[in-house]
Structures are given as C-alpha cells and as structure tokens.
C-alpha cells in the first residue's frame, strides 16, 4: 500500500530544511539542485510542492515571519509598558539572539527581491507584514492615550515613527557597523518624551 503523504507536513519539512541551509550559506549561494539531492527528493517530487526557487524562498520567509509575529503577539498580551511593547514589535531588529539575527540576515538577503517583485503573493505578504506592525503601533498609542500617559494628538506620530524605524533598518543594510538597536531604542524614547502628558 503506498504511503499517504500529508502535503502541508511535507511543505513544512522542505521549508524547515531550506531555512537551515539559507542560514548556513546564505540565499545567494543556495543551490536548488544540491538542496533537492540533500533532502533525498526527486526533482519531480520537489516541483510538486514548489514551482521555482523564488517560490521556495518566499514560502520559507513568510512561514518564519508569521511564526515570529504570532510569538510576538502571544507575548504582547502580557506586557504593559510602552517600551516593552515597542521592543516586542521591533524584536526582529532589537533581539540579538541567534534565531532573530539569522532571520534578520535573511530579510536583508531577500529585501531587494521582495521590494521589486511583481508577484501578487509577495505583495500581499509585504502588505500584511507592514499592516501588522502599523496596527500594533497604533494599538500601543491607543492604550497609552487611554491610560492617560500620552496626549491624544500623539497618535499622529505613528506614521512617522513607522517610517523612521523602516528607514533605520534600510540604513543598517547600507551602512556598515550602523548600530540599529541603539538608534531605534533612542528614537523610541524620543517619541515617548514627545507623546507624554507633562
């Protein structure tokens, strides 16, 4: 009797194995043919799940991104202070643990590919990531306003806050030794000062 293969489990397995290779050697040096051989799969089997190398990269990155985001959302429920919540939202930029630094390195590797992609799935993925971060920032400001910590007009700062944080990330990609963590934390503290009711 032929073995029944669970498609979702197989896709998860391929993505997890690909992620390990991406982290180890980088996306630029990733060889799809070698990878297919290393996971003991025929090309026909692989192409049953992924039609291109780019689709595999997208699937791996979206899977890891949503895992991180769901983990952050879970921790977020138990945090009260502005700075703790900000640290969670920008954990991918601020957390120096290996799992986060590995993923950040891959974000940088795929940044240009995602930015210029005409693929509708990738556009939706980009929009959902940015929308999640923006909505979370707005919620932090709403919470602080409701608690009486921030003045009501402070919510207008969310758009510039979001844009500035993304700009800092871009600078960290372009400028060697740019201290993203320090710059972002200092900016978060500035925004807190501007927003607080004196």
- Could you state, in chain order, the average pLDDT of each consecutive group of 10 residues for the chain (198 residues)? 71 94 91 94 92 89 85 81 89 86 84 72 79 88 93 93 90 88 93 89
* Residue 15: exposure state from Cβ atoms within 10 A (0-12, 13-18, ≥19): buried
What local confidence, expressed as pLDDT, does residue 112 receive? 67
What local confidence, expressed as pLDDT, does residue 18 receive? 95
What local confidence, expressed as pLDDT, does residue 3 receive? 58
How distant is the alpha carbon of residue 85 from its chain centre?
16
3-class secondary structure, 150: strand
> Count of H helices and E strands in the chain?
10, 0
What local confidence, expressed as pLDDT, does residue 1 receive? 46
For helices 120-146 and 53-76, the axis angle rounded to 10 degrees is 10
Other C-beta atoms closer than 10 Å to the C-beta of 134 total 15
Contacts of 129 (CB under 8 A, 6+ apart): 65, 69
What local confidence, expressed as pLDDT, does residue 5 receive? 64
The CA distance from 191 to 131, in Å, is: 20
What local confidence, expressed as pLDDT, does residue 22 receive? 93
3-class secondary structure, 116: coil
Supply the pTM of this predicted model: 0.78
């Amino acid at each position: 009797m032929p073995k029944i293969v669970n498609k979702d489990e197989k896709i998860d397995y391929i993505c997890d194995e690909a992620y390990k290779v991406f982290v180890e050697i980088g996306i630029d040096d990733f060889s799809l043919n070698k990878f297919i051989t290393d996971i003991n799969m025929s090309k026909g089997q692989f192409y049953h799940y992924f039609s291109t190398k780019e689709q595999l990269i997208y699937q791996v990155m979206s899977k890891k991104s949503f895992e991180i985001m769901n983990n952050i959302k879970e921790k977020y429920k138990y945090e009260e202070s502005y700075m703790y919540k900000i640290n969670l939202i920008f954990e991918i930029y601020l957390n120096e643990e290996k799992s986060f630094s590995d993923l950040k390195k891959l974000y940088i590797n795929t940044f240009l590919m995602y930015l210029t992609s005409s693929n509708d799935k990738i556009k939706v993925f980009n929009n959902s990531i940015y929308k999640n971060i923006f909505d979370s920032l707005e919620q932090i400001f709403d919470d602080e306003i409701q608690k009486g910590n921030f003045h009501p007009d402070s919510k207008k700062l969310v758009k510039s806050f979001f844009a500035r944080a993304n700009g800092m990330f871009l600078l960290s990609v372009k400028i060697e030794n740019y201290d993203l963590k320090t710059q972002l934390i200092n900016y978060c503290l500035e925004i807190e000062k501007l927003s607080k009711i004196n």
